[in-house]
Structures are given as structure tokens and as C-alpha cells.
């Protein structure tokens, strides 16, 4: 017998998470697998202490190193557009808090995620461990180059804004693979763009306006 009692899930947080799911449905997000994944990942674990109260509102929030965790509706929309299947290996560029990777990990066999700040990656790893998520590999690396050693990937999700269509990354997709990335200038609105590699051609679709922090080349020296 052990006298260690696991912490009770916070009932208020559960209610707020449930109302966030309702809100996502109202916004037209209907993909059941994606909503179910979002329902099992407590977003409050991924936001800084002082923003816990806002974790289940549909808004982006600041995280360490001057970066941002995306709004839940943006995470939901991007995840749905990625059409992730359970046998997939997904590459994410821009780990940030680790929240989007955790959602992908619920849907895919395996997730590899790249982050240029070691501090962010280490905090994200601690959160995945706390939640018992074991199918994510995080790497401190310049994601603008992708991860050729493990390519090709079934899906690639870029969660920082690329100035131009990321051809180097599209090349790391399997045939029929999908990449989603915000494309456009750093300090403005970007276009969320869908790319599907079909043999030697690439189908491209516009998914709407978004605002992301920029994809910066190179690994951060400090932090
Ligand atoms: N997906 C994250 C949010 C990403 S914010 C989440 O769920 O919280 C964008 C992230 O991309 C930041 O953490 C930023 O440091 C990272 N980033 C920017 N340029 C990068 C690059 N070249 N390689 C890897 N990560 C990069």
C-alpha cells in the first residue's frame, strides 16, 4: 500500500476546458478526432503561471523567450487541416510551449519537434513527461532546414512564419504528404498555407489569415 495520493484533477479547469471545446464547435471546428485530442490535453499546463486563469480562453498567450502559444482555435484548425492519421510520423517546427506537439502526439504514432531555444524545449519535455506523453522527440535545432536525417515525414507543421514557401521542408514529405505553414512577412499578417506533395508537383491552398512569430534561422545562442 502506498500513501501517495495522486492530485485530483481541478474541477474548475475541467469545466473551463469543456466550455472551450463548445466554443471551438461554435466556431465551426467539427473534426471529432481533433476535438477529442484537445479535450485530453490540459492547456493550463503549457502556459506561464500568471496566465493559468486564461488558459481556456480562445486567445494566444505569451510564453518564455518572447514567444507565443497559439490560440486554441488556431491549433484546432491547423491540426484538422493536417489530416493526421494514427500511423503517421509528424514533424513540427517550433516546439514553443509543447502544446501543439502534445495534441499531435494524441493523433499520430510519433512526433518529432524542433525548437531553437533550449529553455523552451526543456520546459516542454518536462510537461510531456508530467502528462505521460511518450511519443514525442524534441530536438534543439534550426527547424528551417527540417530534419533530413529522419525524412521523409507523413506530415509537417510549421508553427512560426516563413517568409516564403518552405521548399526545403516540402522536399522532406512523403509522396502525398501534407505541410501546413504560415507564409508571409515577420511583423504582419501571414497566410496559412496548405501544401500537398504529389509526385513532382505541389498542390497549394490558402487557409486564411494568421499571425505567428517569425521563423528565425539558426539555433539561439543563449537560453
Ligand atoms: N507550437 C508552439 C508555438 C510556437 S511559437 C506551441 O504549441 O506552443 C513559434 C516557435 O518557433 C517559437 O518557440 C520559436 O522559438 C520557434 N522557432 C522560430 N524559428 C525557429 C527555427 N528556425 N527552428 C526551430 N524553432 C524555431
Helices (H), the chain: 11-26, 32-40, 72-81, 99-107, 118-130, 167-170
Which residue has the least CA distance to atom 13 on ligand 1? 96
| Per-residue pLDDT tens over the stretch 147-184 | 999 999 999 999 999 999 999 999 999 999 999 999 99
What confidence tens digit (pLDDT) does each residue in 182-217 have?
999 998 999 999 999 999 999 999 999 999 999 999
Count of CB atoms situated within 10 Å of the CB of 218: 9
Task: Specify if 8 maps to a domain.
Answer: no
- The pLDDT tens digits of the residues spanning 89-147 come to 999 999 999 999 999 999 999 999 999 999 999 999 999 999 999 999 999 999 999 99
Rounded Cα distance between 88 and 164, Å, is 26
Domain extent for 129? 13-210
Q: Which residue has the cell 508537383?
A: 201
Minimal CA–CA distance to 160: which of 120, 210, 111?
Answer: 210
CA dihedral 188, 173, 136, 92 (to 10 degrees): 0
Instruction: Note the pLDDT of residue 2.
Output: 47
Give a yes or no: residue 216 inside a domain.
Answer: no
Evaluate whether residue 170 is within a structural domain.
Answer: yes
Instruction: Pull the grid cell for residue 155.
Output: 506530415
What is the spatial distance between Cα 72 and Cα 61, in angstroms, rounded to a whole number? 10
Asked if residue 73 belongs to a domain, the reply is yes
What does the pLDDT read at residue 3?
Answer: 58
CA distance 144 to 112: 14
Task: Give the number of domains in the chain.
Answer: 1
What's the 135 CA to ligand 1 centre distance in angstroms?
19
Residue ranges around ligand 1 (CB below 6 Å): 67-70, 93-94, 96-97, 99-100, 114-117, 120, 142-144, 159-160, 213, 215-217
Is a pLDDT exceeding 80 seen at residue 7?
no
> Would you say residue 215 lies in a domain?
no
Q: Would you state the pLDDT for residue 14?
A: 87
* Sign of the Cα pseudo-torsion (180, 186, 187, 190, in order): negative
CATH classification at residue 108: 3.40.50.150
Task: Encode pLDDT of 43-56 as tens digits.
Answer: 999 999 999 999 99
pTM: 0.95
Q: Is residue 136 part of a domain?
A: yes
- Could you confirm whether 70 is annotated as catalytic? yes
State the average pLDDT for the chain. 94
pLDDT of amino acid 8: 61
Q: Cα separation of 136 and 140, whole Å? A: 13
| CA 87 to centroid of ligand 1, rounded, Å | 25
Among residues 181, 160, 166, the alpha carbon closest in space to that of 68 is found at 160
Question: Residue 209 forms beta bridges with which residues?
Answer: 191
Please indicate, yes or no, if residue 221 is contained in any of the structural domains: no
Q: What residues pair up with 180 in beta bridges, in sequence order?
A: 157, 194
pLDDT digits (tens, 9 = 90+) for 20-51: 999 999 999 999 999 999 999 999 999 999 99
Residue 120 lies in a domain: yes
In ligand 1, which atom is closest to the CA atom of 114? 24
Amino acid at each position: 500500500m502506498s500513501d501517495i495520493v495522486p492530485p485530483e484533477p481541478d474541477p474548475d479547469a475541467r469545466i473551463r476546458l469543456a466550455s472551450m471545446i463548445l466554443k471551438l464547435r461554435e466556431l465551426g471546428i467539427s473534426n471529432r478526432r481533433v476535438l477529442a485530442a484537445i479535450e485530453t490535453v490540459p492547456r493550463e499546463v503549457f502556459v506561464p503561471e500568471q496566465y493559468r486563469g486564461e488558459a481556456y480562453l480562445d486567445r494566444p498567450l505569451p510564453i518564455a523567450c518572447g514567444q507565443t502559444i497559439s490560440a486554441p482555435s488556431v491549433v484546432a484548425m491547423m491540426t484538422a487541416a493536417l489530416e493526421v492519421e494514427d500511423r503517421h510520423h509528424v514533424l513540427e517546427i517550433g516546439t514553443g510551449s509543447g502544446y501543439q506537439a502534445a495534441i499531435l502526439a494524441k493523433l499520430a504514432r510519433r512526433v518529432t519537434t524542433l525548437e531553437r531555444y533550449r529553455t523552451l524545449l526543456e520546459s516542454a519535455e518536462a510537461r510531456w513527461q508530467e502528462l505521460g506523453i511518450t511519443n514525442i522527440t524534441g530536438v534543439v535545432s534550426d527547424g528551417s532546414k527540417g530534419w533530413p536525417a529522419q525524412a521523409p515525414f507523413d506530415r509537417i507543421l510549421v508553427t512560426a512564419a516563413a517568409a516564403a514557401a518552405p521548399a526545403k521542408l516540402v522536399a522532406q514529405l512523403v509522396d502525398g504528404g501534407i505541410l501546413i505553414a504560415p507564409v508571409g512577412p515577420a511583423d504582419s499578417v501571414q497566410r496559412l498555407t496548405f501544401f500537398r506533395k504529389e509526385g513532382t508537383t505541389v498542390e497549394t491552398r490558402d487557409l486564411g489569415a494568421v499571425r505567428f512569430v517569425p521563423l528565425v534561422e539558426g539555433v539561439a545562442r543563449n537560453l
